[in-house]
């Protein structure tokens, strides 16, 4: 199947400006296709990842991806679906975010020259106010702009002229890329339809109706319960490993619901139809094995963080399940125990009863501590301790940074040595 048929099977097409023309283009030549992202933050999260996964599919199908980092548009802010104006960032912050997003894109798309990353500040910053109004503003009808969904949704509470003009700037981006980077297609989320069609209209007005340019949007991704996809209980799931560790990233995917996992395999992996159909059958017949979730977690974690991160995440998961935490590295402890109950302790050695009851408060009393120790319910750094005279020395394990306590079968605590 061609790339459009594949995207349709994956449920990844929402709107197209001209299906027949777009099909003819992608079947006959290597097309230039772009996705933009504004540097409003210093990392993408998995919600941002959706259009870039589709862009990656075009790359693998032999087309030419162009990624636009919106250093220009990001300095003013687009009119989001929220009922308030974006807070403008300093240009230093915008530049810092640009560098970090560029590094993430290079990791996702490879460094083999088969893609481009450009910054729209390069051309938008050269526009004078008079040039903007004379060359472009004259070609945009206010009534048409007001009817664009993203603008119309803000009219009741108000929208600044700055955010109102965002669609003109994005249209200029498409025109520039058509002229200078051989781009014929703009890809975006469902909320970008109005901006994409504005760009196509501008190109047709300036280059002629025969200009072959197209727009393609992706549906809003919803979970089976109707809620928006993309967040965990702790908030956004980031691509930056400092914000969301590779282990947390892996766990997010492996914990997906049976009702959602096949949809996510289609959206977020490069597995073919036969492989996904086989996993779908396993979800239907043996959901308790969670093979589809495991494959989803492996594929996404490898794509974003690399093969070693997958091995590490699996190692952490196995250690926590079995209780064999002694085999974990210090880095793995930092990832696996990031959100577990923790307490700060000194590096001084101390009797286990006092340490559990008086220092860490893991046990509510010394009596309870003694009882749990003698009953074999306490493990320190993976080792069962049944001697109430045992001395805990924080320097003995994990580079002297951590002491791991497990009480009972599943309850873990992390002591951070200060």
Q: Which of 234, 214, 218, 287 is nearest to 256 (CA)?
A: 287
As a residue count, the chain comes to: 418
CA dist., res. 123 & res. 169, Å (int): 10
166 is in an annotated binding site: yes
What are the structure tokens assigned to 342, written together?
């923790």
Tell me the helix, strand and coil percentages in the chain, rounded to 5. Answer: 50, 15, 35
335 annotated to a ligand binding site: no
Task: Enter the tokens of residue 91.
Answer: 């240009």
Helix (H) or strand (E) holding 103: helix 91-109
Pair of tokens at residue 61: 């199908």
**Residue 200 to residue 182: CA distance in whole angstroms:** 14
What's the rounded Cα separation, in Å, for the pair 384 and 398? 17
- Are 47 and 229 a contacting pair, CB within 8 Å? yes
- The answer to whether residues 72 and 14 touch, using CB atoms and an 8 Å cutoff, is no
Give the separation between CA 146 and CA 149, rounded to whole angstroms: 8
SS3 category, 159:
coil
CB 41 within 8 A of CB 97: yes
Bind-site residues: 34, 166, 170, 231
Bind-site residues for ATP: 231
Bind-site residues for L-tyrosine: 34, 166, 170
């Amino acid at each position: 199947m061609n790339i459009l048929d594949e995207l349709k099977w994956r449920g990844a097409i929402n709107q197209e400006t001209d299906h027949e023309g777009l099909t003819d283009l992608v079947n006959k030549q290597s097309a230039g296709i772009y996705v933009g992202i504004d540097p409003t933050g210093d990392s993408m999260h998995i919600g941002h990842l959706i259009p870039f996964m589709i862009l990656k599919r075009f790359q693998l199908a032999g087309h030419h991806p162009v990624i636009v980092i919106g250093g220009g548009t990001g300095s003013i802010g687009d009119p989001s679906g929220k009922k308030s104006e974006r807070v403008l960032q300093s240009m230093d912050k915008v530049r810092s975010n640009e560098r970090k997003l560029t590094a993430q894109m290079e990791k996702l798309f490879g460094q083999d020259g088969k893609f481009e990353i450009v910054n729209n500040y390069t051309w938008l910053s050269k526009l004078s106010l008079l040039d903007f109004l004379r060359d472009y503003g004259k070609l945009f009808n206010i009534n048409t702009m007001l009817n664009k969904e993203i603008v119309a949704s803000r009219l009741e509470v108000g929208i600044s002229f700055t955010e109102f003009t965002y669609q003109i700037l994005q249209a200029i981006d498409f025109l520039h890329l058509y002229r200078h980077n051989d781009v014929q297609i703009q890809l975006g989320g469902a909320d970008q339809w109005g901006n994409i069609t504005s760009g196509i209209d501008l190109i047709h007005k300036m280059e002629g109706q025969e200009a072959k340019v197209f727009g393609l949007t992706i549906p809003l991704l919803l979970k089976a319960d109707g809620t928006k996809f993309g967040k965990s209980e702790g908030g956004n799931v980031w691509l930056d490993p400092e914000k969301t560790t590779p282990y947390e990233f892996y766990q997010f995917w492996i914990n997906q619901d049976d009702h959602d996992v096949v949809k996510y395999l289609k959206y977020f992996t490069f597995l073919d139809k036969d492989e996904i159909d086989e996993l779908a059958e396993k979800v239907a017949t043996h959901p308790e094995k969670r093979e589809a979730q495991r494959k989803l977690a492996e594929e996404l974690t490898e794509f974003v963080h690399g093969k070693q991160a997958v091995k590490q995440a699996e190692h952490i998961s196995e250690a926590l399940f079995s209780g064999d935490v002694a085999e974990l590295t210090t880095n793995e402890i930092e990832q696996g125990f990031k959100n577990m109950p923790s307490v700060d302790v000194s590096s001084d050695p101390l009797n286990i009863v006092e340490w559990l009851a008086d220092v860490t408060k893991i046990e509510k009393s010394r009596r309870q501590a003694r009882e749990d120790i003698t009953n074999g319910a306490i493990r320190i750094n993976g080792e069962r301790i049944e001697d109430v005279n045992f001395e805990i020395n924080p320097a003995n394990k994990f580079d002297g940074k951590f002491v791991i306590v497990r009480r009972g079968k599943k309850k873990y605590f992390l002591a951070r040595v200060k």
